[in-house]
Chain A
Amino acid sequence: GENVEQHPSTLSVQEGDSAVIKCTYSDSASNYFPWYKQELGKGPQLIIDIRSNVGEKKDQRIAVTLNKTAKHFSLHITETQPEDSAVYFCAASYRSSNTGKLIFGQGTTLQVKP
C-alpha cells in the first residue's frame, strides 16, 4: 500500500550546521514530493517541492534531492538558524486528474541550538 517512511524522528543540531531528513516512499507511481514545516499552533507550511522528472531543487538554504530508483528523497537545510526549529514533514502523491491526496511521513522534530 501507500506508505512514506521518514527518518530521523528527532534531530538536534548546532546553529550553523547542516540538517538532513530522509524519506522513503513505497508507491513507484508517486511523482510529486513536497516538504512542509509545521510550527507550534500552525498548519503545515509548504517550503519546497520536487517532481519526479527532476533530481534536485534548491531554494536558498533549502534543497531537496530525489532518487527515483531507490524511492528516496531528502531535505537538506544548510546554515541552520534557531528559527528553523519546527516539525518537518515529507509527503508523496501521484499526479492524476482524479486525486491529489498526500501521503505523509511521520515527521521530524528539528531543534537548532543557538
Chain B
Amino acid sequence: DSGVTQTPKHLITATGQRVTLRCSPRSGDLSVYWYQQSLDQGLQFLIQYYNGEERAKGNILERFSAQQFPDLHSELNLSSLELGDSALYFCASSVDGSGQPQHFGDGTRLSIL
C-alpha cells in the first residue's frame, strides 16, 4: 500500500459529461502529480501541485483542470468528455516539489461510452 488514495476506482460515463477524480496524498507529502495512462500513449504527465499551488503543467487538455486544497487532497476535473479520454488516471505524491521519489495510487479507470 503506497498510502496514496484515489477515488473512485472505476467511473463509467457518456460523451459530453463532466467527472471529478479525487486523490489523497501520503501523510506528510506536499506535492501531488496527475498522470494519464492509455494503451497508445503510455504514462503521460498531466499536472503537478505543490502545497496548493500549480507547479508544472504537461500534456493536459484545456478541458481538464485540477486543484489542490488546503488539506492537500487534489481533484482532477475532466469536462466535455470524449471517447479518447478513456484511460487510467493516476495520482502520485512526494514530500517536496522535486518528485524524488514519487509514490502512486492505484488509479481511477475512466470509461467513456
Contact = CB atoms under 8 A, between A and B. Distances in A.
Contacts of B90: 43-44
Interface stretch (B11-19, B40-48, B79-87): B40-48
Interface string B44-86: 1100100000011010000000000000000000000000000
Is the interface on chain A under 10, 10 to 19, 20 to 34, or 35 or more residues? 20 to 34
| Consensus secondary structure, chain A interface | loop
Contact of B94 (A42, A89, A100): A100
Contacts of B106: 41-43
B104 A100 contact: no
Interface in A84-104: 89, 91, 93, 95-104
A97 B51 CA distance: 13
A100 B107 contact: no
Contacts of A34: 100-102
Nearest to A49: B101
Contacts of B4: 43
21 contacts: A34-B101, A34-B102, A43-B2, A43-B4, A43-B106, A44-B43, A45-B2, A46-B102, A95-B100, A96-B98, A97-B97, A99-B55, A99-B99, A100-B94, A100-B96, A100-B100, A100-B102, A102-B45, A102-B99, A103-B45, A104-B43
8 nearest A-B pairs in the assembled complex, by CB-CB distance:
A100-B99, A99-B56, A43-B104, A104-B43, A101-B45, A43-B106, A44-B104, A32-B100
Given A34-B100, A44-B43, A44-B104, 18 more contacts: A41-B106, A43-B6, A43-B90, A43-B107, A45-B104, A49-B100, A49-B101, A51-B100, A89-B43, A93-B100, A98-B56, A99-B55, A99-B97, A99-B99, A100-B98, A101-B56, A101-B58, A104-B43
